[in-house]
Amino acid sequence: MFGFIKKSLAKTVDAIKTVVPKRKVSFTKEELEDILLEADVAYDLVEIIINEIYQEKVTRDILRSKLLATLAYTSYKEPEFVAPFVELIVGVNGAGKTTTISKLAAKYKSEGKKVMLGAGDTFRAAAIEQLTLWANKLDIPIVSSKQGHDSSAVAYDTIDSAKSKDFDNVIIDTAGRLHTQTNLANELKKIKRICDKAHSGAPHRTILIIDGTQGNSAIAQAKAFNEMIGIDGIIITKLDGTPKGGSIFSIAYALALPILFVGTGEQPENLTPFDKYEFVDGLLDAIFVDEI
């Protein structure tokens, strides 16, 4: 697990090296500010971190405690539920929703669970086709309809079928973009209502998929989805392809929501449970040398 996370920070580390070429035992606050900004930590959060440090020289232990504090809300406790466990996946088109759904499905299947997918993004034919291809590849059943059909009906049918066949997990895709944000909000709210009608308490977890390459610009997008329907957790994709790994601190701090997984590659096993200690230490290893 740690290897995936550390490897996924490679581009962020390269960005940091442009301002601090060599690892050191300690840094000045000015150097630290440059490091954090280069890693795409939001300016406001950098200022908070800097202002809370009173020492002239910033050591690994000092910075570690401050970075971990920004991730205070990243832990997650699974709610009580009656099977199947229903997850609603939301996010804008291009964030990696379909690929992430396939990774989640593969993870659950590897744990011996029976998984069913729902192709609830009926706004785009390509989304239905792509998710169906993944379902066939993973040998997992999928409920789908044609483009333009009622996505809430797909959600209901998926849950109803999973219940009748004693499935453990249901993962439902949703549209990432409709004509207006109001239309999107109304559709997502309707899907949540219908999920609850199909299975009381569903969806048990609503997950927002965030494209890691967007860095801090994803915060406003995440806040909008949270205001629309309420988000229970976040998955950050494409972490291995961005120099903006530091934005995770800003996203977690701004939203006060758990980060469930990070995408660290294209393969099914490259969906890594987020561990704040491993993430912080992976970054600090690239900045500091051990004190002699």
Could you read off the pLDDT of 84-143 as tens digits, one per residue? 999 999 999 889 999 999 999 999 999 999 999 999 999 888 999 999 999 999 999 999
- The continuous run of DSSP H or E covering 211 comes out as strand 205-211
Pairing of strands 115-118, 142-143: parallel
pLDDT at 172: 98
Q: Of 240 and 33, which is predicted with more confidence? A: 33
The structure tokens listed for 176 are 């990432």
Give φ, ψ of 286 to 5 degrees: -85, -10
pTM (predicted TM-score): 0.93
Residues 23-49: pLDDT tens digits?
Answer: 999 999 999 999 999 999 999 999 999
| 1 pLDDT higher than 60 | no
Q: What percent of the chain shows pLDDT beyond 90?
A: 65
Residues 3-19: pLDDT tens digits?
Answer: 677 778 888 988 888 98
The SS3 assignment for 282 reads helix
CB 59 within 8 Å of CB 265: no
